[in-house]
Amino acid sequence: MAVLLTGGAGYIGSHTALCILNAGQDVVVLDNLSNASPEALRRVSELTGKDVPLFVGDCADKDALNRVFDQYKIDQVIHFAGLKAVGESVAQPLRYYRNNLDATLTLCEVMQAHQCFDLVFSSSATVYGTIQEMPLRETFPLGCTNPYGWTKFMSEQILRDLSHADERFHVVLLRYFNPVGAHESGRIGEDPSGIPNNLMPFICQVVSGRRKELSVFGNDYPTRDGTGVRDYIHVMDLAEGHLAALAYAREHAGTEVFNLGTGVGYSVLELVHAFEEVNGVRVPYRVTPRRPGDIATCYADPAKATNLLHWEAKRSLADMCRDAWNWQKNNPNGYHEAQ
Ligand code: NAD
Ligand code: UD1
């Protein structure tokens, strides 16, 4: 039996593959490599000493998925595959809806046809939209501010409706907060293409000399120091959350949703200063106007995951900063110049 990871060559998928393999289960990956390198999985294989079969194909391609299910006995699936850049989704909404929704729909049809019913889905805290009450609980009303967010919202709804109609389905929706950092080996990590949108990879590229300085988007928010506050979570904690979700899915029919965050928010400047202190480096920055669409504060109430998944984030902000820099330092061009 193996766990299929759609989009498993990407940032969160590759770290999760490593965790699952270390827990003694087999994995198979289907990825169209639109935002990933096969090198990530080669390194997962090197770190674990286990095989990671990669099918290069699109999750919206029924034949490609059928080939995976025909060749391997898949009993559980984690569905990471999707496009994830918020700004790009505003400029190219049809591409985002087509890619992310087709992938979810096709996967569900193929799973049903192959009698595979356990599904863990990568959702996002972005489905909480602009709610101001913190911490965010799973029961809060949802609403999105961009097409990317709506694809997560709609996929959640599709999966709820499916498990309602077909009671054999066991679905776990995971709403990630802000994943950062890398595996402690420094062999796998986040490898954004082009100019990074997110804070931690941008900081890493500034410190490594690839970018001149960090723009801090606004210091007039109603927060401790005026800069935006987020719930950063170490990608290895997040990966372990998927193991817990697989175990939960095995036992529970229907759909359940969980926040995966630490429950603690840090500001942009707190993250910058932690990064400087832990790594003994300087992060040149300049305060610039707010980024349109950003909210002041966003952090999780992770109590439901603690109680029902028996999981909680263990790694500190210092761990996140150290591991992110360790990856960047050892791989200044990501997987590109890999040997
Ligand atoms: P990523 O881009 O590194 O990984 C996504 C993977 O999916 C990539 O390897 C890409 O090549 C693949 N892919 C995309 N469309 C595909 C398709 N149609 N068929 C097959 N493969 C396809 O992103 P990530 O950060 O690892 O995110 C994984 C999932 O988690 C995504 O669904 C993302 O939306 C979600 N998520 C990410 C974050 C984050 O901050 N990284 C936060 C919340 C949710
Ligand atoms: C973004 C996405 C969100 C996704 C999340 C995790 C948007 C609007 N939202 O959220 O959907 O789930 O990433 O990947 O893009 N910042 C700077 N300078 C920078 C970059 C960021 O000051 O160069 C600030 C931001 O204003 C924010 C914080 O750093 O306060 C974190 O930003 P980012 O890493 O982009 O994540 P989010 O905006 O939380």
254 sits in the region (left: phi over 0; alpha: psi -120 to 50; else beta) called left
> Relative to the CA of 79, which ligand 1 atom is closest?
32
210: in domain: no
217: in domain: no
Give the length of the chain. Answer: 339
329: in domain: no
Q: How far is the CA of 46 from the centre of ligand 2 (A)?
A: 32
Whether pTM exceeds 0.85: yes
123: in domain: yes
The CB of 124 under 6 Å from ligand 2? The reply is yes
- Whether residue 338 has pLDDT greater than 80: no
pLDDT tens, residue by residue, 5-51: 999 999 999 999 999 999 999 999 999 999 999 999 999 999 999 99
Q: How far is the CA of 186 from the centre of ligand 1 (A)?
A: 20
The CB of 143 under 6 Å from ligand 2? The reply is no
266: in domain: no
The CB of 326 under 6 Å from ligand 2? The reply is no
Question: Measuring from atom 1 of ligand 1, which residue has the nearest CA?
Answer: 10
pLDDT tens, residue by residue, 266-312: 999 999 999 999 999 999 999 999 999 899 999 999 999 999 999 99
Exposed e or buried b for every residue in 247-261, given b needs 16+ CB within 10 A?
A: bbbeeeeebbbbbbb
Question: Measuring from atom 3 of ligand 2, which residue has the nearest CA?
Answer: 126
The CB of 202 under 6 Å from ligand 2? The reply is yes
pLDDT tens, residue by residue, 208-252: 999 999 999 999 999 999 999 999 999 999 999 999 999 999 999
Q: How far is the CA of 74 from the centre of ligand 2 (A)?
A: 35
Q: What is the pLDDT of residue 339?
A: 42
pLDDT tier at 335, thresholds 50, 70, 90: very high
pLDDT tens, residue by residue, 53-91: 999 999 999 999 999 999 999 999 999 999 999 999 999
At which residue do the structure tokens 């690839």 appear?
210
120: in domain: yes
Beta partners for 123?
175
CATH number reported for the structural domain that contains residue 35 in this entry: 3.40.50.720
Question: Measuring from atom 16 of ligand 2, which residue has the nearest CA?
Answer: 199
Percent of the chain scoring above 90 in pLDDT = 98
Domain enclosing residue 102, as ranges: 2-180+232-261+304-313
Q: What is the pLDDT of residue 336?
A: 87
- Whether residue 265 has pLDDT greater than 60: yes
280: in domain: no
Q: What is the pLDDT of residue 140?
A: 98
207: in domain: no
Q: How far is the CA of 220 from the centre of ligand 2 (A)?
A: 16
Catalytic residue positions? 148
Q: Look at the chain and report how many structural domains it folds into.
A: 1
Q: What is the pLDDT of residue 237?
A: 99
The CB of 92 under 6 Å from ligand 2? The reply is no
At which residue do the structure tokens 């087999």 appear?
26
Question: Measuring from atom 41 of ligand 1, which residue has the nearest CA?
Answer: 179
